[in-house]
Copies of this chain bind each other. A is one copy, B any other.
Amino acid sequence: MRIAVINPNSTQSMTDKIAATARAVCAPGVEIEAHSAKGAPISIEGHYDEAMAVPRLLDQVRAAEERRVDAIVVACFDDPGIGACREIATGPVVGLCEAAVKAASMIATSFTVVTTLPRSAPIIEELVRRYGLDHQCRRVRAAAIPVLALEEPGSNARQLVRDEILRAIEEDRCEAVVLGCAGMSDLVDWLSEETGIPVIDGVAAATKFAEALVGARLKTSKIGAYATPNAK
């Protein structure tokens, strides 16, 4: 089985980190290809960045389809362009937010999402509602750090994320925490230990759910909204 993990931004260090996470969790015999969306913004912080990144993400999806991958992971927590990807993909396309919150809902009765920037919180709130899990989501919190601070060696970003999780446990009475940014995927083990609560990383969740859907022999439905785009 081959899964293409596509980082919709163009920061290679983040793609490398995502690839490492995906490879660490995938089953024996699963091959992970990781790609940056060349030409996309260096980080996705809001709707505009998303919109500019999606055509470049679709370039990568198209290329992956030509290589006949079995599934695609869109490795950004805002789940940009998922519907468009599903129209041109054959196998399943899984987004980080969708996978992570659906995973959270199976191991806890409630969860809080901790993301980077305040401006991303309303986007995630809308996604969670779209996925029907607003009743299990206690709150979407922002640790107030720019996405790329997670890539800087000396930054205090990881401490800020941990502190926000500790506040979430205290104030939100949540039973699990979802990390709301792909760039946090290398922190998940440390954060789980520091906080003593299940911490869910979207990269791992999406990779495993993609694997699961392929393993269950499921493909994207082609008889409705996700049909191949009409020729122009």
Residues of A within 8 A of B (CB): 25-30, 41-43, 45-52, 54-55, 58, 81, 83-84, 86-88, 92, 94, 98-99, 102-103, 105-110, 117-123, 125-126, 129-136, 146, 169, 173, 175-176, 189, 196-198, 200-201, 204-205, 207-209, 211-213, 215-221, 223-227, 229-230, 232
Contact = CB atoms under 8 A, between A and B. Distances in A.
Contacts of A232: 41-43, 49
One complex includes copies of this chain to the number of 6
Contacts of A125: 109
B54 A221 contact: no
27 contacts: A27-B27, A47-B83, A47-B226, A48-B84, A49-B229, A51-B83, A52-B84, A102-B105, A103-B213, A105-B131, A107-B218, A107-B226, A108-B224, A108-B225, A110-B122, A121-B225, A122-B175, A130-B130, A132-B132, A132-B134, A175-B223, A198-B218, A198-B219, A198-B220, A200-B216, A205-B218, A208-B216
